[in-house]
Amino acid sequence: MKTTCHSDYGQLKRVFVKRPAEAFMDENQITRQWRDLNFLAKPDLNKAHVEFTHFEKLLQSRGAQIEYFPHDASVTLDSLYCRDAAIATDFGMILCNMGKPARKPEPEAERKAFVAKNIPILGIIADPGTVEGGDVAWIDEHTLAVGHTYRTNWEGIRQLKHLVEPHGIHVWVAEMPHYKGPSDVFHLMSVFSPVDKNLAVVYSPLMPISFRKALLDHHVELVEVPDAEWDSMGCNVLAIAPREVIVVNGNPITKQRLLAAGCVVHEYEGQEISVKGGGGPTCLTRTVERLL
């Protein structure tokens, strides 16, 4: 096995998370922010802590080293979903520039944590470019997919290509549909979660035809999420090892399809930390290193 940042399905080795205690802070902050950030309902801090503790144990079940983003007064409740503010590469972290205005301070807050852990910074996406990590996923070690969405624009994609292509990384661009428009959280990884080198969980009705075809041409088998489990984040699946995954509880059809594909499936209750804020297990983690 070798260590790489260029995977979203290898065995999890090192991962950053931000606990509710540091992201939500206290009842006053939750009360002030949850509506403006478009949470579905007000999170319960105590229940969120219980849910996240179980989620952490699942991350550690494969021996992953967990790093913690500290509290930062400049960021909001959304900082719980720490994948979005950075992209991990073997050449250093790429700090994103958030498409959601309220999340603009998050990349700088994460930069401080990376520097404190002696993790190099490869580059920064700058205005007018925007990129969010939920729009970016590794297909294989040399292929990075990026969604063109309301959160990730063409200038951001141009800058991302400029940073990674000199290192031999090929970038696939997926032209995502309008769906619910600029105010909604709709990333590439809303419809695509790689769980092995030749297996991915997808929601085909909202996938670009060219991207779906490229996956099939790449010999990737697709586990289809049914319409009934789209809103419950059936497609937001985190691999902690090849074909071993964490999913939000409440998606039984997707779970059975994953089991039929030879996956081990772990579930967690995510009402407070996932459903209300629209961020599943991939969103809750900024993976840095995996084993392949």
Query: In terms of Cα–Cα distance, which of 236, 188, 234 is closest to 212?
Result: 188
- Classify domain 3-291 by CATH architecture: 5-stranded Propeller (3.75)
Query: For 112-121, how does the pLDDT look when each residue is reduced to its tens digit (9 = 90+)?
Result: 999 999 999 9
Q: In the prediction, which pLDDT does 183 show?
A: 84
- Residue 150 CA, chain-centre distance (Å), reads 16
Domain ranges of the chain: 3-291
Q: Which residues of the chain have pLDDT under 50?
A: none
Q: In the prediction, which pLDDT does 220 show?
A: 98
CA distance 173 to 103: 23
| Cα separation of the two ends of the chain | 5
Full strand arrangement of the beta sheet holding 86-89 = 86-89, 92-95, 121-124
Q: In the prediction, which pLDDT does 185 show?
A: 85
Query: For 5-55, how does the pLDDT look when each residue is reduced to its tens digit (9 = 90+)?
Result: 999 999 999 999 999 999 999 999 999 999 999 999 999 999 999 999 999
- Looking at 23-131, which runs of residues are DSSP E strands? 65-68, 86-89, 92-95, 121-124
